[in-house]
Amino acid sequence: MMRQYELVERVTKYDPDANEDLLNRAYVYAMKAHGNQKRASGEAYFNHPLEVAAILTEMKLDDATIAAALLHDTVEDTEATSAEIEEKFGKEIAALVDGLTKIAKLDLVTKEATQAENLRKLLLAMSKDVRVLLVKLADRLHNMRTLHHVKPEKRARIAQETMEIYAPLAGRMGMQTVRDELEDIAFRVLNPEANRIITERLEKLHAESGDILREIEQALVAKLGENGIQAEVCGREKRPFSIWRKMERKLLSLGQLSDIFGFRVIVGTVDQCYRSLGIVHRTWRAVPGRFKDYISTPKQNDYRSLHTTVIGPHHMRVEMQIRTRLMHEIAERGVAAHALYKDAPDAKEGLDGFRQPAAESNAYRWLRHLVEMLQEGESPKEFLEHTKLELFHDQVFCFTPKGQLIALPRGATPIDFAYAVHTSVGDSCVGCKINGRHAPLVTELQNGDEVEIIRSEAQVPPAAWEGLAVTGKARAAIRRATRVAVRRQFSGLGREIVEKLLAKHERKFLDKEVAAALPRLGHKNLEDSLVAVGRGELSGHDVLRAMGIAVEEGKAREPRRKISAKKGDAADELSIPVRGVSRSAALRIAPETGAVPGERIVGIITPGEGITIYPIFARALEQFDNQPERWVDLAWDSQAAEKMFPARIAVTIMNEIGSLAQVTQVIGDLGGNIDALQMVAREGARDFFDLDITVEVRDLKHLNDIMMGLRTKNAVSSVQRKTG
């Protein structure tokens, strides 16, 4: 066990102004508070907070954080109280200990809803003071180092929790050293056989390549020295879990990996970084497509470095990272390094953006962004899903036309880009240009792309976009906008139904009169009542009764929804999978517009014939405004995904050779089927033709893909959905 004076010496070595009295008092208080408590290993419990404090001294953290680490389990596991901690050690340390106490018993690998809520609490506590995060990660790191003392079933659960939450969280905070160790220990527990095979292979490769690696190190140092650059070069090998992850992601065997070994070149200034890169590329042949400049464009966790791969001595592929000493500290220790360097006198060259407290770092801004998402009222389950997405994705960097840098997860689309700029930009997005050319909204963005979003204030984001988006922010905003749009549609439909029924009684729809009846309807506001009527949950006649209007019994009945289909009816053979009517109902889709899964639909009853299905935007519905009894609220069934459905679209094309072929090829390539096509020449505009196409698709997403694909063609002037 580390002695009291040893801990103090560790801190004062990197921080001569540290409060030694505070550290001594915290050490003695924690040791007495934990008394004779034991850990699973049988050692004194106090050894755990002491080791956590020792880990934090390696990160060179301030005396308050070290004291909080010593005290972090006292309130939870001893008779100490928060008030007593504040009295003896002050408000700052008491607040840190309190934040750690609140998350001390979080179980992040539980039922999904519980896990999500616990993750909310964890991030909220961390967002108030980043030091809570640092102590928590050090606490988890020591627990993982002693995981072999825990029962096997609990061991696997803790390892899974570490792999899913704590390791990627450390990575997002830029603390790569902590992340690597957490992942490797968890990997040994979760996949011991794979870990053993990779470790043995690495040991064999290291024995075979040791001399070559030393030769490359010496050659690099010598070559840079000849050009007046004093550099520190160290060889390194990928960690077992990192190798395993790359093998799975790229479907490679261990023998196919060519970058197991790499080199870090650490120099004095940013200028020397770029000069070193030039020297390396002049000396050895560079591998095309393997250069990345994270100095001019840092990662979101503040990581900066130049990456390149060359064919070095003995024709060995060599991966290099070139950085300054301060960049190296940031890369290894992330947010923990900011406090040390923000006021450093030598932090002038190559540290633009680093002379700031951790609370202002890009990594910490990411944490605050998550907290903002959490406060927007999403459900815990959605928040957990989005957080894990953002924790695990690598990034691409794109630009707005004005040069603003937007960092996105790998695999992101222009939809994600639009919402990253602003929610209103995403909600009004109708198209995009990538590097000056029109492109589908489903295009996967690449590093360096310039993205221009085309907007329309009349746009409402389709629900199908949620499946196309990658970022949590975009998905949440689309889901929210969809809910609002659907609610608005139901409300409008409900208002029309009540208005028509009131008109039959020679009464006008007045908000105040209808609102006065709300207590009898059991709703809080007028909007809720109208939505209920639109959904079919509340009868329009019930609203009239609540207003004191006499309704004849015959008219009070809801329209019958069970309509028998005629034998041999073509509509019956189609067997349209919708909910809201009996399975024996005769159904047909309105030929004027078509209708596809994913869009809001209603049915219109025609006595003796059955029900015609219309999308909610169909103009034909206007003729039934004064017949609310004929309206049936419908919804697509889950079986709809197994069929193809018709949708009519209007396409305007240029009058030139191959125009029609471009249209049909797009539809065919994207898996659509043309059921009918009519071409009409425009009067007075012989340069264009109008196409009326009935295309069969699986759902709204499929239809949108086809329409967006058509819009990218030069011969296509416009593409619109037919409304009837």
Give me 16's structure tokens: 């001569």
Burial (0-12, 13-18, 19+ Cβ within 10 Å), 200: exposed
Q: How far apart are the first and last CA of the chain?
A: 81
Question: How many residues would you count in the chain?
Answer: 724
Catalytic site residue 92? no
Give me 610's structure tokens: 């059955």
User: How many CA atoms lie within 13 Å of 267's alpha carbon, on the beta-carbon side?
Assistant: 26
Question: DSSP character for 629?
Answer: G
Which is nearest to 317 in space by CA: 213, 241, 412?
213
Distant-in-sequence, close-in-space partners of 289: CB < 8 Å, separation ≥ 6: none
Which is nearest to 159 in space by CA: 187, 139, 193, 196?
187
Cα(588)–Cα(611) distance, integer angstroms: 6
Distant-in-sequence, close-in-space partners of 491: CB < 8 Å, separation ≥ 6: 527, 530, 531, 534
Catalytic site residue 62? no
Give me 231's structure tokens: 């550099």
The DSSP bridge partners found for residue 649 are 693, 721
Cα(46)–Cα(69) distance, integer angstroms: 11
Cα(388)–Cα(307) distance, integer angstroms: 27
Phi/psi for 614 (5° steps) reads -125, 145
CA 604-605-611 angle, 5° bins: 80
Neighbours of 367 (CB within 10 A): 20
Question: DSSP character for 165?
Answer: I
- The position carrying tokens 């506590």 is 125
Burial (0-12, 13-18, 19+ Cβ within 10 Å), 332: middle
Q: Which candidate in 76, 352, 372, 537 is catalytic?
A: 76
Question: DSSP character for 626?
Answer: T
Q: Which candidate in 20, 62, 77, 86 is catalytic?
A: 77
Distant-in-sequence, close-in-space partners of 136: CB < 8 Å, separation ≥ 6: 100, 103, 122, 126, 166
Question: DSSP character for 600?
Answer: -
Helix, strand or coil for residue 458? Answer: coil
**Residue 116 and residue 149 in contact, taking contact as beta carbons nearer than 8 Å:** no
Cα(459)–Cα(474) distance, integer angstroms: 16
Which is nearest to 658 in space by CA: 585, 592, 715?
715
Q: Which residues are catalytic?
A: 76-77
